Amino acid sequence: MFRLTLIFLWCALFGAAAQNPPAPSASPTSPANPTNPASGAVPVNQSENANQSENVNQSENAKKARALLDQAIQALGGQAYLTYQSKGETGRYYPLFHGRTESSGIPYNFFQKYPDKDRFEVVHQRNIFLLYGTVSDVKVKNKSDIVLIHNGDKGYEITYKGTAAQDPIDLDKYLRRRSHSVDWLFRKWMQDPEVALFYDGASVVDSKETEGVTLLNRQNDSVTVNLDQNTHYPIKISYSWRDANDKQKNTEEEIYDNYKLVQGIWTAHSITRYYNGETSLQRFVATAGYNLKLPDSAFEAAVTYDPTAPPKKR
């Protein structure tokens, strides 16, 4: 009940601010809320938003939420976790439909460059060993080969046909997952002074005693993390969104398990994704590493064909 009261207060505060937006800037290149350098004054609406967030987060409930999140960061590795710049992993993943799969596991390589670059490779090759720790520059030839690249808000899909822009629906799904990921929660959401924190209490998740914390931003977007009461590791991330077409509410969750220490960072080696309560994907990490020397070129791509275009007449 206390959490709901705080959420209503948060929405009311930002709702009031939204009803009185600042006047449009005279120049498209000038800041929306310019500060007077001579006076050092803070724009009124920014000051009000910061104060509103600060007031909400001064409650005992919010302070407990903050303490749990800080405890989780330390459990994951502290500064080693907060400051790593790149990550790589190999393993097998299992796509599921209605919680079932006929796959025996698909081997993959996954490379990330924080905060918004990644490369996912599924390349089937015979008698070729992809050396872990390097980004392969493999020519995609087999029809089952695929490389997905994300750079900022752009997505690319590389197949034997060439390089295409990622399907807009699939790209939206990916960007939503990234913005609600564990890394973004601890390294972005927590650092935003306008994000409100709520302690949700204790609950059992994946047979583990956990405590939940919800983070809510001023766009009324939220993400909830459940933390193991014993290890303090993140056990589950969950968030909901409403489909723009059918207006239905959807809930996505990820469960993390089998944590292992890798270069001073406790890393989940089992990730299970759920969509509206049904298992949609499982990923099992075989090897992982941090702060790899990943070239920028590994996350670059240029569109060479449009899969939606009609075939050319001969």
Q: Which burial class, exposed, middle or buried, applies to 311 when counting CB atoms under 10 A from its CB (0-12, 13-18, 19+)?
A: exposed
pLDDT score, position 28 = 37
pLDDT score, position 98 = 61
Look at the chain and count its residues.
314
Q: Choose among 87, 86, 69: nearest CA to 78.
A: 69
The ranges of the chain with pLDDT < 70 are 1-54, 97-103, 123-144, 314
User: Which residues on adjacent β-strands are paired with residue 111?
Assistant: 88, 119
Query: φ and ψ at 227, to 5 degrees?
Result: -110, 135
Q: How far apart are CA 251 and CA 277, in angstroms?
A: 8
Q: How far apart are CA 281 and CA 253, in angstroms?
A: 11
pTM: 0.77
pLDDT score, position 55 = 75
Q: Please check whether residue 210 is in contact with residue 225, taking contact to mean a CB–CB distance below 8 angstroms.
A: no
Cβ-based neighbours of 14, under 8 Å, separated by 6 or more:
49, 52, 218, 220
| Cα separation values, 265 from 108, 191, 214, 288, Å | 22, 20, 24, 10
pLDDT score, position 166 = 96
Q: Please check whether residue 286 is in contact with residue 270, taking contact to mean a CB–CB distance below 8 angstroms.
A: no
Q: Choose among 212, 215, 277: nearest CA to 249.
A: 277
